[in-house]
Amino acid sequence: MADKKYIGARSRSKEGPRHVTGRGLYTDDFTLPGILQAMILRSPHAHAKINSVDPSEALKNPDVMAVVTPEDVKRQTKPFKPGRYAAGLKRPIDEYAGAIEKVRYVGEPLGAVAARSRGAAEDALELIQVDYEPLRPVVDVREAIKPSSATLFDELGTNLAWQGSLQYGDIAAAFKSADRVVKENLKIHRYSSTPLEPFVVIASYDAASKRLTVWVTAQVPEVIYDGVREALGLEDVRVIIPDVGGGFGQKIHLIRKYVVLVSLLAMKTGRPVKWIEDRSEHMMAGGHACAQEFEAEAAVKNDGTVLGLRFNEYDDVGGSISTLTIHFTNKLNNLSNTYRTPAIHMIGNAVVTNKCPVIPNRGIGKPGMCYIWERMMDRVAQELNLTPIEVRRKNLIQPNEMPYRTISGNVYDSGDYPGLLSTLLEKIDYDKLREEQKKAREQGRLMGIGIVIGVEPGGRNAARDMAIFPEMKEPPGSGGVNGATIKLEKNGTLSLHLGSPNCGQAHETTTAQVAAEVLGTTPDQISTSIPFDSDLSPWGVAAANSGNNFHLYDIGAIHGAATKLREKVLRLAAHVLSTDPKELTIENGVVQVPGSAMKKITFAELGRIAYNNQHLIPEGMEAGLQATHYYTFPHAKPNIVPGADRLVRAQFTFSAGAHAAIVEVDKTTGMVEVKRYMIVGDNGTVINPDVVNGQVYGSAAHGIAVALGEGFIYSSEGQPLTITYLDYGKCSAAETPRVEVVHRPSPSPFTSVGQKAAGEGAAIPSPAAIASAVEDALQPFGVKVRELPLSPEAVWRLANDNPETERRSF
């Protein structure tokens, strides 16, 4: 496409008008006749045996229509199959929708109530008698793997639920020929993007047809679909996903438990049932990003070249085995970051503890990987007496090496990493900042500058997780497939039907721009159907609003469908106008031979023919003007499915960003102020700049807030202490710095319009940027930043050298 009209241009938001007038339709906005309200029975203990559950008192109230107990769950449902998030689990361990014999985290669901009103459901919950036998809670990862600790899963016999490793390149040779080995121990804590809309499920069961319909706040319809089929044995399932108030990976996995429990209530009562969780329920049990500890070593030459990287990782996965290895395997997506290091050895340990299970929160494991790289690069610079910029430059993959095959099998499609770094340093006037810093230090002010760089992978490959278990019996699919349908209506407008749900990433606006560009019409003539409906939406395994899938699969599908439709439009028009399709152009919904006043026809006229006027449709041409396209990435091979060599295309496209964080630290209180934060980003061809900027601003703001103190804290008894937004430490507009974004795209040669990802983006390098800046600020005191979060107390301790008297659990 030579001169683009809509791609890359500002375009009025299609989602905006309904959101600013309160006309968004979220799951809780729906109701059905006779609907009941549900509440979930949850464990108050971090670790306990369930001896008995007696609902009889609760059932005495005639407004209470049904109670589901662990016995019901065991008798009436089957456990979920271990999926790709637990690829490493070689022996299956049954995990049901609710706890059966044991509870393993505070807030774990074990039953549910449906009643005619919310109040009655609340009252009923209080009356259910549960006899628990509390067990010793296991909260600390290092303690958990000691034989003296209580075991969460008797079938495993240990809390070290999985251990494994992956190696690429000759790591032994790398360490042998190194001039020096740089070591560091690093730690990232538990946090989450805490979407503002909590989980909501509506279930309605038609017993005569054996058909279940579910409205749910979910990001991945396949998880719901498969979860319901596995647990309830139902084949006729319809999943509807309306507007979702934020996902960030929170609404992918654990939500399936609640769909099953609420569906059981619907089946028991014969009525539709709605469940909405409380904020505190979500904070306790909705799912957390994994706390990870790393023992990292880099083999380096004195000139700063990194010959090899090795790290031993401990993942605190919480009280479930269902997401055991996802934070480890996801590191394959950005394993090399932006560097050409020829050997990497990664060792993983997944430890179960009595805390909320971990889920694939924004970035999943990739922020950890980037943290390892960028902290190590700073450390290498310090130990070799080089600057952090020199060390990075020494190791960056060069633009003339693109497309670049990494040692683990990824193919980086495009990118100019040295260019991103140079542009960043120029835009922030790096040399001037260093001078400012010198003056500030003389005045006793602790100013710090952190510079980091990170790739942002996009477009998932469902088979990636098999790299740790290629012999997996039930492969999770491979590559990615997703579809889109585009229809030219009788009145000449167009309607799009996308294959994926969304949680606010402007899918409607963006796809309309692409479709308008391809078809030669205007975005305001195009509407997109919401909600996602599994009966109607053309969806496949990549219908996942996560993992940066939209830019590749949905855009690819719309582009493909629009291209097909354009061809049909031209064919029909050519026939009606008695000309050759090659002679025709389309502009603003009018098809014509350029310069001819007679040979032109509008979309509306074509529509009326295609649906109404068989006489004018050419022989052999299908009537109607609709096209569906299922997209797969055409450059996905080789290594879609990992073999014995464990090489795998973990993801398919690679955006990147160079970040600069400028901070000032108050030593006496530990407060860190972010004075400036800039990102020079490459997201490939930007279809809608406002949308992409929004994704970068939002993901950066969250990464910064994570680094500076938001996070989950547990007591030594496994009680969650941070179950409100303020206790957890969420930042408002008053505390969030204004992030600056500069675009420096290297379009992908492999995608439909050169677009790359922009959803997880800045969440990946930003924690490392803040860590780097704070360490730089405290450099006069010889401080090393290893652990996040850098809360005021943590910074105060680092700056004033106070070791903690009592270790707290994260």
Partner 1 sequence: MKQTIRVTVNGRVYQEDVEPRILLAHFLRENIGLTGTHIGCVVGECGACSVLLDSKVVKSCLHFAVQADGREITTIEGLAKDGELNPVQEAFVKNYAFQCGYCTPGMVMTSYALLQTNPNPTEAEIRKALAGNLCMCTGYVQIVDAVKEAAKQQSTAKV
Partner 2 sequence: MIRFDYQEPTTLKKAFSLLEKHGDDARVIAGGTSLLIMMRQRLLMPKVVISLTRIPKFDRITYKPNDGLRIGAGACHRDIELSPPVKKHYPLLHETFRKVAQPRIRNMGTIGGNLAAGDPLTDPGASLIALDAEVTLTSSKGQRTVRLDEFFVDYYQTALEAGELLTEIHVPPPERPGWSHIKFTPRSIEDFATVGVAITVKTSDGTCEDIRLGLNSVASTIVHAKKAEAVLRGKPITEAALREMAEVASTECEPTDDNRGSAEYKLDLIKVLVRRAAEEAVQRAS
Asked whether position 675 contacts partner 1 by CB under 8 A, the answer is no
Least spacing, CB of residue 369 vs partner 1, in Å:
23
Q: What share of the chain is helix, strand, coil (3-state, %, to 5)?
A: 30, 25, 45
What is the C-alpha to C-alpha distance for residues 566 and 728, in angstroms, rounded to an integer?
51
C-beta separation of 481 from 540 below 8 A: yes
What is the C-alpha to C-alpha distance for residues 467 and 332, in angstroms, rounded to an integer?
9
**The one segment of 54-62, 242-250, 367-375, 389-397 that binds partner 1 by CB under 8 A:** 242-250
What is the C-alpha to C-alpha distance for residues 473 and 466, in angstroms, rounded to an integer?
10
Site residues for partner 1, 503-562, by CB under 8 A, read 503-506
- 713 binding partner (options partner 2, partner 1, none; Cβ < 5 to 8 Å by kind): partner 2
Q: 248 vs 258, which CB is nearer to partner 1?
A: 248
Using CB under 8 A, pick the residue from 154, 732, 782, 801 that binds partner 2. 732
Chain-centre distance of CA 215, in angstroms?
21
Q: 25 vs 721, which CB is nearer to partner 2?
A: 721
DSSP 550: I
Q: 641 vs 680, which CB is nearer to partner 1?
A: 680
Which tokens sit at 460?
A: 């998932």
Using CB under 8 A, pick the residue from 698, 709, 745, 761 that binds partner 1. 698
Question: What are the phi and psi torsion angles at 187 (to 5°)?
Answer: -150, 135
- 693 binding partner (options partner 1, partner 2, none; Cβ < 5 to 8 Å by kind): partner 1
Which tokens sit at 177?
A: 């020929």
Using CB under 8 A, pick the residue from 1, 150, 172, 196 that binds partner 1. 196
Write out the H or E segment, with its range, that includes residue 676: strand 672-682
Site residues for partner 2, 700-729, by CB under 8 A, read 705, 708-710, 713, 721-722, 726-727, 729
Nearest partner of 321 among 353, 292, 289, judged by Cα: 353
* Burial status of residue 602 (CB atoms within 10 A of its CB: 0-12, 13-18, 19 or more): middle
- 709 binding partner (options partner 1, partner 2, none; Cβ < 5 to 8 Å by kind): partner 2
3-state SS, residue 552? helix
Using CB under 8 A, pick the residue from 321, 359, 700, 707 that binds partner 1. 700
What is the C-alpha to C-alpha distance for residues 605 and 499, in angstroms, rounded to an integer?
28
- C-alpha distances out from residue 294 to 251, 347, 362, 369, Å: 27, 10, 20, 10
Q: 683 vs 791, which CB is nearer to partner 2?
A: 791
Asked whether position 721 contacts partner 1 by CB under 8 A, the answer is no
- Per-residue burial over 183-217, b = 16 or more CB atoms within 10 Å of its CB, e = otherwise: ebebbbbbbbbbbebbbbbbbbbeeeeeebbbbbb
Using CB under 8 A, pick the residue from 43, 77, 159, 194 that binds partner 1. 194
Asked whether position 793 contacts partner 2 by CB under 8 A, the answer is yes
Nearest partner of 418 among 453, 385, 367, judged by Cα: 453
**The one segment of 25-33, 98-106, 311-319, 465-473 that binds partner 1 by CB under 8 A:** 25-33
**The one segment of 127-135, 404-412, 624-632, 731-739 that binds partner 1 by CB under 8 A:** 731-739
The separation between the first and the last C-alpha atoms of the chain, rounded to the nearest angstrom, is 51
Using CB under 8 A, pick the residue from 23, 142, 146, 183 that binds partner 1. 23
- C-alpha distances out from residue 798 to 131, 518, 795, 801, Å: 45, 56, 5, 5
- C-alpha distances out from residue 375 to 75, 110, 211, 450, Å: 51, 42, 53, 10
| Contact track, partner 1, 495-514, x by CB under 8 A | --------xxxx--------
- 19 binding partner (options partner 2, partner 1, none; Cβ < 5 to 8 Å by kind): partner 1
Using CB under 8 A, pick the residue from 116, 211, 238, 279 that binds partner 1. 279
Asked whether position 17 contacts partner 1 by CB under 8 A, the answer is yes
Strands, E assignment, 547-670? 585-587, 590-592, 600-602, 626-631, 651-665
Least spacing, CB of residue 658 vs partner 1, in Å:
18
Asked whether position 15 contacts partner 1 by CB under 8 A, the answer is yes
Least spacing, CB of residue 799 vs partner 2, in Å:
11
Nearest partner of 573 among 626, 609, 526, judged by Cα: 609
Longest dimension (CA), the chain: 88
| Contact track, partner 2, 92-131, x by CB under 8 A | ---------------------------x--xx--x-----
3-state secondary structure 744-799: CCCCCCCCCCCECCCCCHHHCCHHHHHHHHHHHHCHHHCCCCCECCCCHHHHHHHH
Asked whether position 284 contacts partner 1 by CB under 8 A, the answer is no
Asked whether position 18 contacts partner 1 by CB under 8 A, the answer is yes
Q: Does 55 sit behind a cis peptide bond, omega within 30 degrees of 0 on the bond before it? A: no
**The one segment of 245-253, 264-272, 287-295, 628-636 that binds partner 1 by CB under 8 A:** 245-253
Q: What is the total residue count of the chain?
A: 810
Least spacing, CB of residue 242 vs partner 1, in Å:
11
Q: 18 vs 211, which CB is nearer to partner 1?
A: 18
Asked whether position 112 contacts partner 1 by CB under 8 A, the answer is no
Least spacing, CB of residue 726 vs partner 2, in Å:
5
Using CB under 8 A, pick the residue from 118, 136, 393, 675 that binds partner 1. 118
Least spacing, CB of residue 176 vs partner 2, in Å:
45
Using CB under 8 A, pick the residue from 246, 399, 470, 477 that binds partner 1. 246
Q: 419 vs 720, which CB is nearer to partner 2?
A: 720
Q: Alpha-carbon torsion 277, 84, 330, 653, what sign?
A: negative
What is the C-alpha to C-alpha distance for residues 88 and 328, in angstroms, rounded to an integer?
10
Least spacing, CB of residue 466 vs partner 2, in Å:
40
Which tokens sit at 492?
A: 């000449």
Write out the H or E segment, with its range, that includes residue 15: none
- 246 binding partner (options partner 2, partner 1, none; Cβ < 5 to 8 Å by kind): partner 1
Asked whether position 475 contacts partner 1 by CB under 8 A, the answer is no
Identify the bridge partners of residue 483 per DSSP, sorted by sequence position.
Answer: 630
Least spacing, CB of residue 281 vs partner 1, in Å:
10
Binding site for partner 2 (CB under 8 A): 119, 122-123, 126, 668-671, 705, 708-710, 713, 721-722, 726-727, 729-732, 734-735, 791-793, 796-797, 800, 802, 804-806
Binding site for partner 1 (CB under 8 A): 12-13, 15-24, 26, 28-29, 118-119, 193-198, 243-248, 276, 278-279, 503-506, 690-691, 693-695, 697-702, 724-726, 730, 732-734, 736, 738-739
